[in-house]
A and B are shown apart, each in its own frame.
Chain A
Amino acid sequence: MAATMEASSVKPHVGKKKKPPKRYWDSSTEDNEQHTKKSSQDGESDFNEENVKETQESQNADDGQAYSISGSQDPFPGDAPIPEEKLKKFRRVEKSKGTSGLRSKLKEAIKRSEVESELAQKQAARFDLLLPEDAGFLEGDEGEDTCTISQDDIADAVDITSGAKYFNLHLSQFGPYRLDYSRAGRHLLLGGKQGHVTCIEWQTKNLMSEINVMETVNDVKWLHNEDMFAVAQKKWLHIYDSKGVELHCIRKFNDVLRMQFLPYHFLLATASATGFLQYLDVSVGKEVTAINAKLGRLSVMTQNPQNAIIHLGHPNGIVSLWSPNQKEPLVKMLCHQGAVRSVAVDKTGTYMVTSGLDKKLKVYDIRAFQPLQSYFLPAGASCLSLSHRGLLAAATGDIVQVYRDVWGTPVTKPYMAHRVRGGVSGLTYCPHEDVLGVGHSGGFTSMIVPGAGEPNFDAMDVNPLGTQKQKREWEVKALLEKIQPELICLDPTQLGKVDRASWQQRHEERVKALGYDPLAQDKFTPRMRKKGRSSSGAVEKRKKKVAHEDQRDVIRKTVEEKMEKEKEQKEKKVAAVGAKGQRSALDRFKK
Chain B
Amino acid sequence: MKVKVLSRNPDDYVRETTRDIHRVPRNYDPTLHPFEVPREYTRALNATKLERVFAKPFVGSLDGHKDGINCMAKHSKSLSTLLSGACDGEVKLWNLTKRECFRTVPAHEGFVRGIVSRFCGTSFFTVGDDKTIKQWKMEPPGYGEQEEPMSTILGRAVFTGIDHHQTGETFATCGQTVDIWDEQRTSPIRSFSWGVDSFSCVRYNPVETELLASCASDRSIVLYDMREATPLKKVIMKLRSNTLCWNPMEAYYLTCSCEDYNLYTYDMRVLDQPVTVHMDHVSAVLDVDYSPTGREFVSASFDKTIRIFPKDSGHSREVYHTKRMQHVICVRWSADNKYILSGSDEMNIRLWKANASEKLGVLTPRERMTRDYNQKLREKFQHHPQVRRIARHRHLPHDIYKQRRELREMKDARRRKYVQPSFPFSCHCFPCPSG
Interface residues of A (CB under 8 A from B): 89-90, 92, 124, 127-128, 131-141, 144, 149, 153-154, 157-159, 161-162, 165, 264, 305-308, 347-349, 388, 432-434, 448, 450, 453-461, 463, 465, 467, 470, 480-484, 487, 492-496, 514-516, 518
Contact = CB atoms under 8 A, between A and B. Distances in A.
Contact of B34 (A157, A161, A306, A514): A306
A432 B8 CA distance: 10
A492 B5 contact: no
A137 B36 CA distance: 30
B30 A89 contact: yes
B354 to A, nearest CB: 24
Interface stretch (B39-47, B189-197, B271-279): B39-47
B22 interface: yes
Contacts of A496: 37, 40-41
Interface string B38-63: 11111100100000000000000000
A456 B13 CA distance: 11
Interface in B67-122: none
B55 to A, nearest CB: 20
Nearest to B2: A139
A306 B29 CA distance: 13
Contact of A455 (B6, B24, B41, B415): B6
Contacts of A161: 7
B7 A158 contact: yes
B364 interface: no
B1 A516 contact: no
11 contacts: A153-B1, A158-B4, A388-B31, A433-B6, A454-B27, A455-B6, A458-B26, A458-B29, A463-B24, A480-B43, A496-B37
Nearest to B32: A458
Given A450-B5, A515-B415, A492 B26 contact: no
Nearest to A121: B28
Contacts of A305: 34
Interface of A is mostly: loop
Contact of A493 (B27, B37, B43, B46): B37
Interface residues of B, number: 41
B8 A133 contact: yes
B3 A92 contact: no
A182 B160 CA distance: 76
Contacts of A516: 419-421
Contact of B38 (A348, A467, A483): A483
B431 interface: no
B25 interface: yes
B427 to A, nearest CB: 21
Interface of B: 1-8, 10, 12-14, 22-43, 46, 384, 415-416, 419-421
Contact of A127 (B28, B38, B415): B28
Contact of B12 (A132, A141, A162, A492): A132
A434 B27 contact: no
A518 to B, nearest CB: 7
Contact of B29 (A89, A132, A514): A89
Contacts of A454: 27, 29, 32
Contact of B31 (A154, A347, A480, A518): A347
A492 B37 CA distance: 7
Contacts of A140: 1
A211 to B, nearest CB: 30
A149 B1 contact: yes
Nearest to B417: A515
B24 A459 contact: yes
Given A158-B7, A465-B13, A139 B1 contact: yes
Given A140-B1, A459-B26, A495 B42 contact: no
A460 B24 contact: yes
A493 B37 CA distance: 6
A184 to B, nearest CB: 12
A352 to B, nearest CB: 16
Contact of A135 (B6, B46, B384): B6
A183 to B, nearest CB: 12
B18 to A, nearest CB: 10
